[in-house]
Structure 1
Amino acid sequence: MSLKLQPVRVANGYDEEGFLAFVDDRLAAVLVRLSEQHGELAGRWFIETAFGPLGAPNHPTFPDLAEAEKYIASRWRPS
């Protein structure tokens, strides 16, 4: 399995710093860094949207990108 992150700006008006997460060259998730608008969660990473096996409705936040990558890798099951 190959996991790659590509920086991207997300046009949602407040949590704009993001990454596209690709697993084996397939878009798996969009990660965003939470802004000050989120209080004590500010600076943490959140899966804004996810596809395939990551598409569960609730997603945790992560203290850094390495933890987000571990989460994605542990849940990705090829179709």
Structure 2
Amino acid sequence: GLLVFDKEQRLLAVLSRLGEHYDGLSGHWYLEAGFGRLDARDPPTFADLEEAQEWIGQRLARKR
């Protein structure tokens, strides 16, 4: 897993790497928990951490 913090060291998200039993998604990253603007009703999966970082950046850049 991976914890995502902001500049003030507040927890923004928890990402988990999917294992072998997730057909077709093994090795992908999953948004286990998102807080604030990263809260998602249908948590996404990401092919890699770059994709996750891009998604997080887009969500944080949105106006409230």
TM-score range, shorter chain: 0.7 to 0.9
Q: Is 1:74 aligned with 2:58? A: yes
Q: Determine which structure has the larger strand proportion and give its number.
A: 1
TM-align CA RMSD: 1.7
- How far did residue 61 of structure 1 move? 1.0
Any runs of at least 4 consecutive aligned residues in structure 1 with deviations exceeding 4 A, and if so which? none
Matched position secondary structure for 2:21: helix
2:25 to 31, 36, 41: 41
1:41-76 CA distance string (max 9 Å, x none): 111011001101111211221111011011011101
Larger RCO of the pair (alpha carbons < 8 Å, separation 6+): 2
Q: TM-score, normalised by structure 2?
A: 0.85
Structure 2: gaps (5+ residues): none
